[in-house]
Amino acid sequence: MSQYDCIIIGGGLAGLKAAYELKKSGSSVLVLEARNRFGGRTESTKVDDYWFDLGGQWMGGTHKLLQETCKELGIQSFPQYDEGKHVLEINGKKVYYSGNISTLNKDYNLEGLSESIAKIDELASELDPTKPYAHPKVKEWDHMTVTEWTSINVPGKDARTIINWFIRVCLAAEPSEISFLWFLHFIRTAGSYSLLADIHGGAQQDRLIGGSQQISEGIAKKIGDTNFCLNSPVRSIYQDANGCTVKTDLTTFRSKFVIVAIPPTLAGRIEYKPTLPHARDELTQRMPMGHVIKTIVIYDEPFWRKDGYSAEALSDVGPIYICYDDSSHDDKKTAIVGFIAGQPAREWSKKTPEQRKQAVLDCYARWWGPKALKPTHYLEKDWKNEEFSRGCYLAYAGPGVLDSCGAALRTPVGRIHWAGTETASAWIGYMEGALESGIRAAKEVKDKLLSSKL
């Protein structure tokens, strides 16, 4: 039976980064990935020699770990296109605008929007991003949904709609389902509301030439092909006094430690002996994945640019709730990427791909004219149908979860450590957060390996 210092479960960015950090320190590692590919919640697909991302794709201005990793791997980035007029369509009204949404007071009832965002940032700044559940107001904030908070604190109807829309498109769940404390934690780990929403300097600043999945593939190459197994879903982890026994369908492995680098709900489907502590077991049952359908519509020309539009739209009408220009770095392949998220994704998931395609095209035609009805390609990814993701972008916590079992998200259980973007203290839900969590989990294991040798 093969013996390793650490087995890492999950071949996404978090797991691979953890494995790479451990291997660099001289530890023996094995990555077990359930899929037939690396990348986790990043997945790139090729259309006529150009790569498009069906999963995570943006590199933000403050995503320093991601920037460093791309530099190390020789992956180039380019700016997200956003020149021209944007669309804002909420509460039955549609306007085209340039600049910041907050300038639209004459068209919408945005009373309280800027003040509410400032208040959200202020409250979020009070949290310790490594333990949000330790805040003195945990009982109040964690037992309240975001909807409850906005209904009390945001006076303008359109302002409330915009904040609730923001939560749906960022967390892929409804504000009525999400703990206000979890939302504040999400904001805190990013730095501010505007950093999440903005392009320049924000989360959507840059894209990667060749797609984002190549990051995982590049890290895997550095780890070495003898240090990973694909098509190997882990079924059980048994701990004893000397180490861990990890079983897949075909093979059994031994290691001193294990890093589980998959979402909490998937981690809960593994059998553990001894059984997990109550708090950790409860956590895996109470943090569902968000639901998002990502669509990419490819055209033979960027007609929206010629008409003075950016292809950036924010809508509460749908089916697309947010979209951006998704053209290639050299503009030889022009496209629009759009997202159906939260409850609408659950409803549209019941439709056929052809019904979704037509609805998306009709949506774009409503904003930019009949040329939108004539694409060359239509791509989509419903992440709820992905067996080893069960959703995207990340898991979320409903009311009471952080208060009752939030500490279990990162706390090791004996020889088992936890990684994944949900466990990060910076940029949860993003590629940056995944990398950060992998580094943190690897350090935890390295410290234990070192202490065992002393």
Q: Please report the pLDDT score of residue 103 as a whole number.
A: 63
Please identify which residue in the block is written with the tokens 């409804």. Answer: 174
Establish whether 297 is an annotated binding residue.
no
Q: Please report the pLDDT score of residue 107 as a whole number.
A: 76
Taking the mean position of all CA atoms in its chain, how far away is CA 310?
24
Instruction: Judge whether 3-40+212-276+413-453 and 109-197 match in fold.
Output: no
Whether residue 99 is predicted with pLDDT greater than 60 in this model: the reply is: yes
Whether residue 182 is predicted with pLDDT greater than 90 in this model: the reply is: yes
Q: How far apart are CA 432 and CA 319, in angstroms?
A: 28
Per-residue pLDDT tens digits for 264-288: 999 999 999 999 999 999 999 999 9
**Cα angle vertex 99, ends 93, 102, to 5°?**
60
> CATH topology for 109-197?
Guanine Nucleotide Dissociation Inhibitor; domain 1 (1.10.405)
Pick the CATH number of 3-40+212-276+413-453 from 3.30.930.10, 3.30.750.24, 3.50.50.60, 1.10.150.530: 3.50.50.60
User: Residue ranges of the domains in the chain?
Assistant: 3-40+212-276+413-453, 109-197
Q: How far apart are CA 278 and CA 255, in angstroms?
A: 24
Residue 38 has φ and ψ, to the nearest 5°, of -90, 165
Establish whether 83 is an annotated binding residue.
no
Q: Residue 256 in contact with residue 19, Cβ under 8 Å?
A: no
Per-residue pLDDT tens digits for 289-316: 999 999 999 999 999 999 999 999 999 9
Establish whether 422 is an annotated binding residue.
yes
**Cα angle vertex 124, ends 120, 127, to 5°?**
160
Whether residue 105 is predicted with pLDDT greater than 80 in this model: the reply is: no
Residue 431 has φ and ψ, to the nearest 5°, of -60, -35
Q: Please report the pLDDT score of residue 102 as a whole number.
A: 57
Write the CA distances from 6 to 19, 29, 32, 245, integer angstroms: 8, 5, 11, 11
